[in-house]
Structures are given as structure tokens and as C-alpha cells.
Structure 1
Amino acid sequence: MPPDIFDRGARRRRRDRAAPDYAAHDFVRTAMLDGIADRLATVTRSFEAILDLGCFDGSFPAPPGARVARCDSGFAFARGSGGVQADEDCLPFADGAFDCVVSAGVLDQVNDLPGALTLARRALRPDGLFLAAFVGGGSLPALRATLRAAEPEPPAARLHPQIDVRSAGDLLVRAGFALPVADVETLDVGYGDLGRLLSDLRGMAATNVLRNRAPLASATLAAAARAFAARADVAGRVRERFDIVFLTGWAPDASQPLPARRGSATTSLADALRSRPSAD
């Protein structure tokens, strides 16, 4: 087992703390669910059994005719959605239990992400669909910069390590998914002060749960607030960015199209380029 980067107990407590007022801070996950819905709408087949992995308040809607099982690492979210409590890298579901697995907003806080993706693939039936979204590399640049400016060297670990879109696609392949696709969309948000940003992060259960986290001193927080305010535009707002990485993959099945065998092309790229008409 890989070493734990995140404190599992702290993560559960933060999720329980966020549960009562989550709807006031759920805009990032709402954007993720909208993107997942758009991708799901392009699939012509229907699904009967869906796993909502990291369900939060259970706001992922059940498609017509589908049963949705909910799972969350936090007790309050799991209980409130009628689901089960489990970490994403320790799933209790049988192999082949679902024909679709969706996950929005949790995979960036999983200790064993390759293992979690492998378990999600194993929970799918052959030709089952996996759709996921999480906050990825490049997110929260203003917060990162202000914390670096406010804290003396060496700075403490304040924000989680982030996965970029290319690494995310590689993880899909490593987990055994067929036809993997990873892409990214950006959500831009304006904040009048650092306190509002931190309130949103607490409300969406996205604050620091690293095992080696250290308390944030009041003097450091005040310096960060001043550095954050100095980044404001003429309207008094600081632009913060959330890069949302979307993942799409399929459980392997013999019916799926296969890539062409290497070296099987009958025309070379050089010949094809030479045959193109020249521009006037």
C-alpha cells in the first residue's frame, strides 16, 4: 500500500462539518456535474445500475430507469443521501456490480488514486462507463501565491498536490480503462477578500487534510489577506481559478473498437503530404 498523503480521519471530519451548509458552497461540484451530464448525454445507451462515488449531498440525479447507489467517505453525506460510508480506495462493492460509475469532486483527495481507479473499473460490468471530475493542476493560483508571500521560508504544506490533465489520462490507462479521455475546463471566480475564498473551501470540504499539515498562524493569515487584497482588479475582486479535470473511460469489452495495429497503414504520412495541392 502507498503511504497515506491525506489524513483519512480529518477528511471525514471536514466532510461532516461541511454537510449541513454544503448547498451554499457547491458551485464547483455543480459545474462538475453539469460537465458529466453533458458527456453522459452523448452516450446513446441507457444504464441500469450507477454508482455515485463521493456523493456529497446526493445531488447527482438518477437518469430515467436507473438505480443509483451512493457512497461517500463522510458519515453525514453518506447517511443524508441514503448511501454507504467508504473511502474511494477501499470500496465495498462486488466486481461488475454497476454499468456506470460517476465521481465528482473527490478524487483529488484520495491516498491511493491508482488503486481507487482500478477499483472503480473492477466495479463496472464489461463495457461499463466511468465518468469523473475533480479539481486539477493549475487550480487556486491566487491562493498559492498569497500563502507563499505571507509565510517565511520554508513554507508549510498548505494546499494539496494536484494532478494535471496529462497525468490523469495516464492514470486511466494504468487502471485498465479502454478508450480513455482526459480533458480540462476552467471555472473563474471573483472574490472580494481572502476570507470568502477560505469560507467556500471549508464549505465544499476542500481545506487542507494533508497528514503533515501545520496550523496557520494568525499573523500569517493576516499577511496572506493583505497579499490577496493587493491582487484585486479595479472592481476590487481577485480572480481565482478552478481547473476541472474530466475523465472518461470504459471497462474493457470485446465489442469495443481497437486501435489500428502499429505499421498497418497503407499510405505514409510523407506521401499524403506530398499529394496535397500547394497553396496559391
Structure 2
Amino acid sequence: MASNPPRTAPRIFSPERRIAARKRLRRLQAQPDAARYMVEDMVEDVLERLDFLRFEPKSALVVGDYTGTLKPLLEARGCAVEETDPADGFDEELPHHEDAYDLIASFGTLDTVNDLPGALIHLRRALHKDGMLIASFSSAGSLPLLRDAMLAADGERPAPRLHPAVDVRSGAQLLQRALFADPVVDQRPLKVAFRSLERLIGDLRAQGLGNVLADPGPAIGKAGMQRARETFAAAGENGRSVETFEILTLSGWKR
């Protein structure tokens, strides 16, 4: 009897567009006023969790901290830190060094891998025994105003514009499936006011949060963009529209 072929994850995201978006992020971050509030929030959260748990890792892998903030702070605590990013060729869907780190902190990259269960398994294997993963990324419920604006832009033929996202329940299931011990999943909102739709889009690009879908949909025409601008502006008050970013954090231990 012939064996069944191995199952492969559906290709929702384009690895090529994902890497290009991370490289564009680096170029945009060179600007003095570049938005970086998402990763700043995530880094602060990691430090608070380590302090609360009184966990003092001696080795760490930091993925996606394009500000370079976390590395020196961990090093000041006596931790040897390796930094990497998809822009450097790091691929969460491939095996890493096994039993190599006490801590893996991942910022804003796991939401655009096609095989998230597999990526979490690889990250767990890269941990030492009693090592910890803390992974944060944009999650379900994010960008409701942008979603409405894109629907207005597309009219009767909605196109794929925003990423499918993980929620709290599925995040917990993913950690359990990857065999993490004592899994914890939580979600927190980050609200930001914008004067225009263009400013929001600029912030998304500067933080690597743009569309990297394998099927990104057709370009939006001038009329569609005008409808999107009007819809976005109508959702605000006094010239400012408040958008919501939902940050999901997955944490667990390798026992």
C-alpha cells in the first residue's frame, strides 16, 4: 500500500514578500520619526514578565527586535544574547540549534509564517530544558478601522487585504500542540490616534505590518482610495481616528 504524502501547510503568506517587508522596515526605521510603538510595547512586556517570574536567563535568542533595545538590557543582566530577523534569513519554519537557549523572545514575526505549529515546535526544541518562549505579535481583532476602510474601497468585490490572525483560544491550542508546559496566552489592546489613513499605512510599513499575503489582491484605484479615506476619517473625532492594535503573547516552558 502506498504511503500518504506528508501534509504541508497552506501557503497563506508569501515568504518573499515577508522578507521584503522586513528589509523595507529596516530602511524606514532609519528615519528619525519612524513608528516603533508595537515592538517597544512588546520589549517592555518581556522585561516585566522576566521580573515577575524572577527568571534570569543566561542565554537568549531575540527575534525581530529591530530597535536593538532588548539585547543590551539582557546583557546587563549577565545574559549572552543572539539577535536575528527574517531580513537576515532567519526562518522560523526551519529547525534551529537544539537545546541552545534559556530564553527565546520573538517580536512581530510569528503571525506571518505559514506553518505556525511547526515554527513553535522548532522554537521549543531550540530551548534548553526549563527554558522559556515569549512570543508576541499582532492578533485577531486588530485594525478594525482599516478593515472597514478596505471594505469600503473594494465595494461589492472585497479582496484579501488584511491578514488572518490568531486569537487567544487558538493560541493556547497551538502552545499545547507544540508541547509547551505551563502555557499562558493573553491579549492586550494598543490604541493609536491617526490624522489620516496614509499615516496609518505609513506606520504599518515602518513596523513590518503591511500585507504579505501570497494573494494580496488587486491594486486599489483612486476612487477606492478616496472611499477608504472618507470611511477612516468618519470613524474619528476632531480630525483623529483611533485605531486598535491587538497584541497576543504566547509564553511557555520546555520541561
Normalised by the size of structure 1, how large is the TM-score? 0.82
Whether 1:194 aligns to 2:204 is no
Amino acid at match of 1:231: A
Give the alignment partner of residue 233 of structure 2, picking from 229, 242, 258. 229
Structure 2 unaligned blocks of 5 or more: 1-7
The one-letter amino acid paired with 2:78 is G
Could you tell me how far 1:159 is from its partner in structure 2? 0.4
The question of 1:45 aligning with 2:44 is answered no
Q: Distance in 1 between matches of 2:155 and 2:58?
A: 54
Unpaired stretches in structure 1, ≥5 consecutive residues: 76-84, 253-280
1:61 aligns with 2:71: yes
Correspondence for 2:157 among 147, 150, 154: 154
1:57-206 maps to which residues of 2 (within 5 A)? 57-62=67-72, 63=74, 64-75=77-88, 85-91=89-95, 93-206=96-209
Q: Distance in 2 between matches of 1:44 and 1:90?
A: 31
Choose which of 18, 32, 35 in structure 2 pairs with 1:11. Answer: 18
Residue 95 (structure 1) shift: 1.0
Say whether the 8 Å CA contact 1:36–1:133 is kept in structure 2. Answer: no
SS across alignment from 1:5: coil
Pairwise CA distance, 1:247: 1.3
Q: Distance in 1 between matches of 2:147 and 2:140?
A: 12
What is the CA-CA distance between 1:140 and the residue it aligns to? 0.3
CA RMSD of the aligned region, Å?
1.4
**Correspondent of 1:211 among 211, 214, 230:** 214
For residues 15 and 65 of structure 2, the distance between their equivalents in structure 1, rounded to whole angstroms, comes to 17
Q: What code does the residue aligned with 1:29 have?
A: V
Assess if the C-alpha contact under 8 Å between 1:127 and 1:251 holds in 2.
Answer: yes
Say yes or no: does 1:29 pair with 2:39: yes
Give the distance between the partners of 1:122 and 1:25, measured in 2 at CA: 33
Contact kept, 8 Å, 1:194 with 1:228, in 2: the verdict is yes
Give the counterpart letter for 2:236 in structure 1.
Answer: A
Instruction: Show CA shifts across 1:131-163 (max 9, x none).
Output: 111111111000001111221222100000011
Count of residue pairs brought into register by the alignment: 241
Within 2, Cα distance between the matches of 1:119 and 1:56? 22
Q: How far off is 1:222 after superposition?
A: 1.7
TM, length-normalised to structure 2:
0.90
For residues 90-117 of structure 1, what are the alpha-carbon distances to aligned partners after superposition, in whole Å with 9 as ceiling and x for unaligned? 24x3210111111111111111111111
Q: Is the 8 A contact 1:19 1:57 kept in 2?
A: no
Percentage of identical aligned residues? 39
